[in-house]
Structure 1
């Protein structure tokens, strides 16, 4: 596992530095001419991103998020891997896999043409191998400028065909969830988790008036959050992803979670680029899978 001294060789003066949180977690801090971002090395979990042309962050994190070893962080971009949702057969295994709560190692960093990049690789252990006994190196490549780009790559180095479901579970900052619209899913089928996974179809833009938890399947479309209060559009483009998950807990569920402020849920919307449900993957021996996202902000 990294310590701060061992990370110095990846630092970039004026653009990339590393710091230790009081709880012991280590963060990479990116700050260049066009953007700022923070990445927790536990979980390769991006916890903030703001283009410098934007007064508000693009990525939301709870004001009362807990930064604790072995625990997930409320907000940012959790990496859901190698399964999404509940494990298909082992109920004691963590929801959304183990990748978001285990150490990742920095393997590369650099800067060019105004972009700062960082690459991390998941570190296996006896505990992870007990849940996933397969040789599947997985990396997350992050690029920060006035846009945020992330690429989650899984390589199947085993001799078996393996099931894989995954997501970049991104929390976006919004002015008020009740005022935004999400465009890009018109006509798509979705599974409604709030209605026993009933299969339904989306008509028009998506608006929010209560808890929403949906897996939109068979869609590679770009999504756009229209936010009249913050006077901006957040554009969510993806590749290597055939599902889009949309989630807001609303007031009652957020209150039960314990890591939201009383009104914090109003300022977030999860739009997750995924391969889940109908779009879960089978990864052949030697195959490589990359899920790419690109997040940008522009004026309404």
Structure 2
């Protein structure tokens, strides 16, 4: 189905709904959502939330102004979905890498973020919350790389808070393991005026230097390149504690809560790395911070046949 046919089909199914607009951004189709509480922009490629703004608050998510909006090219910003591995495949545990053919070439963060998802339904009955349902199954070409019968479903709720529920189901006859992340890029006025709380006393590893383990002392303040994996003990708590991103200049904070996860990734490329990134201006590092709800590092998921697992994220902007 070509772009024109896709647009026609989406207009036919959803174009009549209040607050729903189907848009074309160069080669990528997006659904613009607007209700009495918030607005958002969600691309079919990757089922990626690119923009979210609750009324009365600043934009919560950062989106690069340098994106090409080409099919198959990942968008920088918003909330990309990493699956079935996080980061470079080679950096994942043996339980994941051992399932795949080492002779093949695998792109970073898997293939869910670069693939078109199916928009299954939109519910606009509640004027303060719009609910969208997406689904995705690996293509035949992707199944040659990932030989497991998998299905992903994503529920997105746009309202006073942004809620995302990602469910992975093993429809096959063999167990498989995966890592994943809701790779959230948060917008900040200036990184020097921000701090992150809720990670105090948590152990973390420097992803750039896996031998370096540390404990978070006090709030996180970013003044250099940061690429940390916070690994939370399953024995100490059932779920992650709430995380707050405080933007003192904008007098706004973002409350981040999650479930189905025992790991958080904190990332900012800083000055030198920013110059090496695609779709990233040299000074964009000052306007964003990634706080990623993840199943990464030791926190991988193994699904038995016919089993499902859900990873959930809730983002709520608040005055500071």
TM normalised by structure 1 equals: 0.95
Q: CA deviation at 1:196?
A: 3.5
Query: What per-residue deviation string (whole Å, max 9, x for no partner) do you get for residues 211-255 of structure 1?
Result: 000110126111100110111111101011111000000011111
Aligned equivalent of 1:162, options 176, 180, 187: 176
Higher deviation after alignment, 40-49 or 255-264 = 255-264
- For 1:172 and 1:143, how far apart are their aligned partners in 2? 18
Aligned partner of residue 275 in structure 2, secondary structure: helix
Q: 1:196 to 1:239 in 2, by over 3 A?
A: closer
The answer on whether the counterparts of 2:83 and 2:179 sit within 8 Å (CA) in structure 1 is: yes
Q: Does 1:218 align with 2:232?
A: yes
Using the TM superposition, give the Cα deviation of residue 25 of structure 1 relative to its aligned residue in structure 2, in angstroms. 1.1
Corresponding residue for residue 13 of structure 1: 17
- How much has 1:177 moved relative to structure 2? 1.0
Given that residues 189 and 216 in structure 1 are in contact (C-alpha distance below 8 angstroms), is that contact kept between their aligned partners in structure 2? yes
Q: How many pairs were matched up?
A: 298
Aligned residue for 2:305, secondary structure, equals coil
2:298 matched to which residue of 1? 278
- Which of residues 236, 245, 259 in structure 2 aligns to 1:239? 259
Q: Are the equivalent residues in 2 in contact too, given 1:115–1:144 (CA < 8 A)? A: yes
Runs of 4+ in 1 over 3 A off after TM superposition: 88-91
Q: Among residues 48, 53, 58, which one is paired with 2:51 in the alignment?
A: 48
> Which residue of 115, 132, 153 corresponds with 1:102?
115
RMSD over equivalenced CA pairs, Å: 1.5
| 8 Å CA contact 2:245, 2:253 repeated in 1 | yes
Q: Which residue of 1 aligns with 2:165?
A: 151
Asked whether the equivalents of residues 103 and 123 of structure 1 are also in contact (C-alpha less than 8 Å), the reply is: no
Q: Is the 8 A contact 2:178 2:301 kept in 1?
A: yes
CA distance in 2, matches of 1:17, 1:245: 33
Contact 2:193 2:247 in 1 (8 A): yes
1:12 deviates by 4.8
| Distance in structure 2 (CA, Å) of the matches to 1:11 and 1:191 | 47
2:258 is paired with a residue whose SS is strand
| Cα distance between partner residues in 1 of 2:211 and 2:64 | 27
Q: Deviations over 1:197-223 (max 9, x none)?
A: 522211111111100001101261111
Selected match of 2:151 from 122, 137, 148:
137
* Among 124, 127, 148, the residue aligned to 2:138: 124
1:180 deviates by: 0.8
- 2:80 corresponds in structure 1 to 78
Q: Structure 2 stretches of 5 or more lacking a match?
A: 91-96, 234-239
For the structure 1 residues 62 and 47, does the alpha-carbon distance in structure 2 shift closer, same or farther, using more than 3 Å as the test?
Answer: same
Query: Is the Cα–Cα contact under 8 Å of residues 62 and 77 in structure 2 kept in the other structure?
Result: yes
Secondary structure, aligned partner of 2:142: helix
* Structure 1 residues 125 and 296: CA distance shift in structure 2, 3 A: same
